[in-house]
């Protein structure tokens, strides 16, 4: 059994489907692939439960920007469980699989001389540029690719859409199945928990109920920045996503850029009733703006052990003040005043997220986070002039709900025998590539245990 039809769950299913002797059941709380659509495009966010962007066949990856970051240097914690060579091989296989299902051939970041030049520029400003080869699928292509995967699995995997996993069932230290929200029990020899970011809170609650150990990941909280696309093209034309890391002067905290969307749009996500912000970028549709997240990574220590609750609390403040996502001009934030419709209209950057409410992010984000973000924008402005403009837009908040990680062995197996975990929801990965790789690895591990993997 697989819980969750996101990238991790799908890639596990693709591996398991290679063995015709196995019976595979996949539970997904959202709709089937052909029923996935988000009404926010036409009517604004209407608070779908569950969120139409985050749930359904393909998970959050189906409507993501669709970046395959072909590196082991970021995107998750697989390298802490597996040898680097193993992770590199998995990433190559994941990339090849996406190509087989229709991913474009274009790769960014292959020009080593150009990347080295950008790396030197970043270093001169106190920023670390993490190089990576990136394949951009595009938001409009992601769903089509996972639909093709669904077709390939049609006769090999049983899929139960709109079915919510309530509890993982275990007996005598061994997994035995899953109980769904309607109190139906499904029994299985192996269970793969891959609930995705939207299911991260459920995964933590289940781990605590089952007595499983959780490791604390850093809590990532920040804003989504929107600027004119033309000022970013120096970087985005070469590497597509400038993965920049900065350590603030004031607090020595790590701030990083994340999910850069050239010529993209800012979008909302509904995380169990909490409205947060994200970004998309299409291959064949272009706006005049580029957006990216700036996230402050903070690792809490004993006795604090509720990083997800902390992130949700910060998001709830923005929702309380703005009824959803807040947007503020950088100049207004720097001047200590809220943005208004009138002030927004004077700006040079027109927001792509029309439903965001002008407001004051200093009433939402902790002082420490604000200072870190402002310092990062100043540093970025030295190599990308215009980023620290008063016209730059900041949307808040962006929170990554993958801040608690299951204790897993080298097989990505929990302390309960034959209960495996994969993807963002288990806190193991932070993006499309490593989520897919983790699912692929777990699928192969089950085949190995069943003696069905060639060469095993």
Is 455 a residue whose pLDDT tops 60? no
Q: For residues 169, 175, 177 and 178, what is the CA-based torsion angle, rounded to 10 degrees? A: 40
- The yes-or-no verdict on residue 182 having pLDDT over 80 is yes
Percentage of residues of the chain with pLDDT beyond 70: 97
Judge if the upstream peptide bond of residue 87 is cis by omega within 30 degrees of 0: no
Residue bearing tokens 């609930």 = 195
Least confident of 152-166, 196-210, 327-341: 196-210
For residue 84, CA distances in Å to 90, 96, 108, 416, 426 come to 10, 18, 22, 26, 20
State the burial class of residue 341 (Cβ atoms within 10 Å of its Cβ: 0-12, 13-18, 19+): exposed
Q: What is the pLDDT of residue 299?
A: 78
Query: Is the distance from CB of 350 to CB of 360 less than 8 angstroms?
Result: no
Q: What is the DSSP letter of 295?
A: E
Distance, in Å, from the CA atom of 176 to the CA atom of 219, rounded to the nearest integer, reads: 32
Neighbours of 277 (CB within 10 A): 27
- The residue among 114 and 311 whose pLDDT is bigger is 114
Q: What's the DSSP call for residue 280?
A: E
pLDDT at 163: 97
Q: What is the pLDDT of residue 402?
A: 62
Domain spans of the chain, in order of start: 2-110+135-215+405-449, 218-400
Q: Is the pLDDT of residue 217 over 80?
A: no
Per DSSP, what are the bridge partners of residue 76? 429
CA-closest candidate to residue 175, choices 421, 409, 8, 9: 421
Chain segment 370-381, per-residue pLDDT in tens: 999 999 999 999
| Mean pLDDT, rounded, for 325-344 | 97
**CB contact set of 80 (below 8 Å; sequence gap of 6+):** none
Using CA atoms, how far apart are residues 294 and 392, in angstroms rounded to an integer?
13
- pLDDT-derived band at 42, boundaries 50, 70, 90: low
Q: Which residue has the higher pLDDT, 293 or 40?
A: 293
Question: Three-state DSSP class for 61?
Answer: helix
pLDDT higher than 80, residue 301? no
CB 31 within 8 A of CB 56: yes
On the question of a cis peptide bond just before residue 384, with omega within 30 degrees of 0, the verdict is: no
Binning pLDDT at 50, 70 and 90, where does residue 307 land? confident
Q: Which helix (H) or strand (E) covers residue 296, if one does?
A: strand 289-298
Smallest CA-to-CA distance from 401 within 227, 197, 261 is with: 197
Nearest to 63 by CA among 170, 140, 178, 133: 140
- Quote the pLDDT of residue 454: 65
**What residues have CB less than 8 Å from 105, skipping those under 6 apart?**
99
What number of residues does the chain have? 456
CA distance linking residue 234 with residue 377, whole number of Å: 17
Q: How many CA atoms does the CB half-sphere of 435 hold within 13 Å?
A: 29
CB atoms within 10 A of CB 303: 5
Band of residue 52 on the pLDDT scale cut at 50, 70, 90: confident
Predicted TM-score (pTM) of the model is 0.88
Is 2-110+135-215+405-449 CATH 3.40.50.300?
Answer: no
- Residue 208 tokens, joined: 């605590």
């Amino acid at each position: 059994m697989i819980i969750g039809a996101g990238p991790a769950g799908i890639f596990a299913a693709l591996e398991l489907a290679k063995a015709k002797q196995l019976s595979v059941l996949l539970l997904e709380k959202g709709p089937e692939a052909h029923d996935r659509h988000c009404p926010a495009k036409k009517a604004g966010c209407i608070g779908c439960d569950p969120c139409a962007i985050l749930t359904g066949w393909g998970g959050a990856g189906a409507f993501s920007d669709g970046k395959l970051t072909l590196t082991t240097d970021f995107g998750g914690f697989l390298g802490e469980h597996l040898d680097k060579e193993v992770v590199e091989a998995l990433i190559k296989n994941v990339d090849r699989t996406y190509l087989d299902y229709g991913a474009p051939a274009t790769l960014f970041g292959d020009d080593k001389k150009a990347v080295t030049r950008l790396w030197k520029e970043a270093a001169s400003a106190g920023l670390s540029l993490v190089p990576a080869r990136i394949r951009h699928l595009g938001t409009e292509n992601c769903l089509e690719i996972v639909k093709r995967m669904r077709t390939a699995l049609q006769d090999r995997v049983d899929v139960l859409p709109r079915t919510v996993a309530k509890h993982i069932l275990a007996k005598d230290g061994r997994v035995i199945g899953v109980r769904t929200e309607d109190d139906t029990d499904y029994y299985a020899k192996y269970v793969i928990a891959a609930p995705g970011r939207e299911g991260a809170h459920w995964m933590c609650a289940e781990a605590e109920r089952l007595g499983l150990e959780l490791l604390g990941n850093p809590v990532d909280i920040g804003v989504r920045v929107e600027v004119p696309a033309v000022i970013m093209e120096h970087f985005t034309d070469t590497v597509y996503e400038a993965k920049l890391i900065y350590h603030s002067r004031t607090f020595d905290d790590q701030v990083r850029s994340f999910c850069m969307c050239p010529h993209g749009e800012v979008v909302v996500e509904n995380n169990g009733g909490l409205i947060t912000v994200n970004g998309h970028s299409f291959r064949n549709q272009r706006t005049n703006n580029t957006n990216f997240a700036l996230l402050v990574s903070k690792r809490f220590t004993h006795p604090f052990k509720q990083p997800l609750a902390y992130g949700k609390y910060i998001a709830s403040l923005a929702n309380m003040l703005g009824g959803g996502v807040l947007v503020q001009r950088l100049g207004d934030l720097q001047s200590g005043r809220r943005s208004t419709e009138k002030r927004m209209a004077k700006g040079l950057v027109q927001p792509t997220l029309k439903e965001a409410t002008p407001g004051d992010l200093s009433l939402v984000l902790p002082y420490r986070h604000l200072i870190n973000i402002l310092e990062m924008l100043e540093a970025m402005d030295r190599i990308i002039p215009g980023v620290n403009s008063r016209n730059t837009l900041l949307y808040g908040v962006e929170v990554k709900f993958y801040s608690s990680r299951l204790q897993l062995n080298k097989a990505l197996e929990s302390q309960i025998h034959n209960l495996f975990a994969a993807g963002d929801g288990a806190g193991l990965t932070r993006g499309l590539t490593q989520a897919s790789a983790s699912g692929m690895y777990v699928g192969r591990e089950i085949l190995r245990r069943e003696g069905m993997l060639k060469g095993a």
